[in-house]
Every structure is written in structure tokens, then in C-alpha cells.
């Protein structure tokens, strides 16, 4: 029993440290919330569901592995493969978002705004329709961005969790397996929320309205760099 309590403490500390030491757990949410001007509630919600999906996928794999008696080496190799997939997905997502920012910048430089009240009546109506369409398009893009983050995090592994689940399984303690998974998951998600919240509040002090399109470009580069870091630096 003492060993299980020690394991619970280990699960909590690893949940915290593996999140803090993995910038990919929080940086994408911070930079995208700034680039897309998300509200605090939206930023926290996207972080929460992505964090839950991130942990749940590894817990599910661990439970299946324990139930089927799959060796820890095999489970760890599966997690490593998932990590590689996520690295490439972050890299691709970052590049796409980078080019999206470049496109917006080029489009913005070639566009001249006319004061709405100077437009003829018919043109003003068209202007309002266009504005409405632009707002709808922004909402659609924001939704796609949120779901892409969620998908990437669901596929992302929590490599340190699998070995933690094996010990209580060897002790034939179903309660131990559930508790380890629950404690690790709570520690991970709470840490993600805490760091993202601090990053969100800090980014509010950056006045980048005059360079809004460059924020998209920078966000794409940062996310692509995180993908490269996972693939080649082992983050």
C-alpha cells in the first residue's frame, strides 16, 4: 500500500514536470489565442479539452495494454511513434499557419479601406454584407484551428504515464491503475491551464494591433519550431 501512495505522488509530480518541461503543452495555445484574439474563456476551454484528450488517449492505450498483457517495451514504442506523428503534425500545422499569415499580410498591403459613410447606399449594403461574411469566415477559421489543436493533442503521447500504470497492474490493483491515471491526468491538465492562463494574461500587455498580421506569421513559426524540436531535439 505504501508503494501505491508513493506512486500517486510520483504521478502528480511527473504530470506537473512533464508539462512544464514540454513547451508544446502550452505554447501553441498562448500564441494562437493572441494571434486569433481569443477570449480568456475560449482559450481556457480549448486548452482544457485538448489536455483531457491528450491524457485520455494514453490512458486508453495503457488500459488496453494492461488488459491484453502487452509488454511495456511495445507500448513505449507505440508512444514514441505517436510522438513522431505529432511532431510532423505540429510542423505542418505551423507551416500552414505561417503561410496563412503571409497571405493575410500580402492581402492587407494591397487593400485600401474606404470610409463606410462615403459609400453610396447600394455599396454600403454590400460592404455590410462583406463584413458579415468576413466575421463568419473568421469564426469558421477559429473553429478549424481549435479542432486541429484538439486532434494534435489527442494523438500526442504521455510517454511517462505508461510505465506508471504497469506497477499497480502487476500488483493486481485496479483501483491503483485508475488512481494513477486520474492523478496524472489532473496534474497535467491543471498545469496546462495554469501556464496558458499566465501566458494569456502576459500577452495582453503586448500591444501588437499595428502588427496584427505579423502575429499570425510569428505564431506559425513558433508552432513549426515546436514540431521540429519534438522530431529532432526530443522535446
pLDDT tens-place string over residues 161-206: 888 877 776 676 778 888 889 999 999 999 999 999 999 998 877 7
Given a contact cutoff of 8 angstroms between Cβ atoms, the answer to whether 37 and 209 are in contact is no
| Residues above pLDDT 90, as percent of the chain | 35
Total of domains in the chain: 1
156 within some domain: yes
Whether pLDDT at 47 is above 90? yes
Model pLDDT, residue 209? 53
Model pLDDT, residue 118? 36
Residue carrying the nine cell digits 506537473: 16
Q: Which of 24-38, 106-120, 128-142 has the highest mean pLDDT?
A: 24-38
127 within some domain: no
118 within some domain: no
Q: Which domain holds residue 176?
A: 2-112+143-232
Given a contact cutoff of 8 angstroms between Cβ atoms, the answer to whether 29 and 149 are in contact is yes
DSSP string of 51-91, one letter each residue: HHHHHHHHHHHHHHHHHHT--HHHHHHHHHHHHHHHHHHHH
Model pLDDT, residue 114? 36
213 within some domain: yes
Model pLDDT, residue 133? 41
177 within some domain: yes
66 within some domain: yes
Model pLDDT, residue 113? 42
135 within some domain: no
Please tell me whether residue 204 adopts helix, strand or coil conformation: coil
202 within some domain: yes
Amino acid at each position: 500500500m505504501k508503494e501505491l501512495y508513493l506512486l500517486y505522488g510520483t504521478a502528480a509530480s511527473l504530470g506537473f514536470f512533464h508539462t512544464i518541461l514540454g513547451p508544446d503543452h502550452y505554447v501553441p495555445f498562448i500564441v494562437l489565442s493572441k494571434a486569433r484574439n481569443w477570449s480568456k474563456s475560449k482559450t481556457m476551454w480549448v486548452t482544457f479539452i485538448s489536455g483531457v484528450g491528450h491524457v485520455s488517449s494514453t490512458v486508453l492505450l495503457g488500459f488496453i495494454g494492461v488488459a491484453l498483457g502487452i509488454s511495456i517495451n511495445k507500448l513505449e514504442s507505440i508512444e514514441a511513434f505517436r510522438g513522431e506523428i505529432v511532431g510532423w503534425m505540429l510542423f505542418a500545422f505551423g507551416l500552414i499557419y505561417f503561410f496563412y499569415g503571409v497571405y493575410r499580410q500580402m492581402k492587407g498591403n494591397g487593400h485600401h479601406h474606404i470610409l463606410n459613410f462615403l459609400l453610396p447606399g447600394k455599396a454600403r449594403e454590400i460592404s455590410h454584407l462583406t463584413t458579415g461574411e468576413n466575421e463568419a469566415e473568421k469564426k469558421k477559421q477559429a473553429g478549424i484551428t481549435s479542432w486541429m489543436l484538439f486532434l494534435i493533442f489527442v494523438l500526442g503521447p504521455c510517454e511517462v504515464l505508461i510505465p506508471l500504470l504497469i506497477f499497480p497492474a502487476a500488483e493486481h490493483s485496479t483501483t491503483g491503475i485508475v488512481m494513477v491515471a486520474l492523478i496524472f491526468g489532473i496534474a497535467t491538465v491543471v498545469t496546462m491551464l495554469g501556464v496558458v492562463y499566465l501566458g494569456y494574461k502576459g500577452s495582453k500587455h503586448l500591444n501588437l494591433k499595428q502588427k496584427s498580421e505579423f502575429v499570425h506569421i510569428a505564431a506559425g513559426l513558433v508552432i513549426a519550431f515546436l514540431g521540429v524540436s519534438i522530431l529532432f531535439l526530443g522535446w
